Amino acid sequence: MFMGEFQHNFDTKGRIIVPSKFREDLGASFVVTRGLDKCLFAYPMEEWKILEEKLKQLPLTKKDARAFTRFFFSGAIECEIDKQGRINVPQPLRKYASLDRECVVIGVSNRIEFWAKEVWEEYFVESEESFAEIAENLMDFDI
């Protein structure tokens, strides 16, 4: 399980250090793709395969299903961590998530997320203000 919040910077070549706490659970290779809320998602291969199977079950005849699947898979890349603990994130993915320099890397259960620092801070403040309401809305899920 991934949890925690870490701050790292992208270098000029588009590389970022993956927090050491996450490296072992991510495995030798993992998938990074466009996430929701203007961040990037990173999944260990085992989790990616589970998600892939679920997405394959979406009906091809539904426009939203096709659009989501295209969005999700077209941005996906397989990554490997180098000897310095870094990955190289391609420019299109960095552009999508507004990742220029400062980055927040968070653990979210079965995945990690890469956020531009200012986008994360804005999202966090907005979510914090409505946290009680969000929790109340999730009560139906027995949380």
Q: What would the DSSP string read from start to end of 16-44? A: EEPPHHHHHHH-SEEEEEE-STT-EEEEE
Longest dimension (CA), the chain: 46
Residue type, 139: M
Is the alpha carbon torsion for 45, 50, 55, 57 positive or negative? positive
* Cβ–Cβ under 8 Å, residues 30 and 18: no
Q: Please give the domain boundaries of the chain with CATH numbers for all domains.
A: 2-141 (3.40.1550.20)
Cα(139)–Cα(143) distance, integer angstroms: 6
**pLDDT band per the 50, 70, 90 thresholds, residue 4:** very high
pLDDT of residue 55: 94
Q: Is the pLDDT of residue 135 over 70?
A: yes
pLDDT digits (tens, 9 = 90+) for 26-83: 999 999 999 999 999 999 999 999 999 999 999 999 999 999 999 999 999 999 999 9
What residues pair up with 88 in beta bridges, in sequence order? Answer: 15
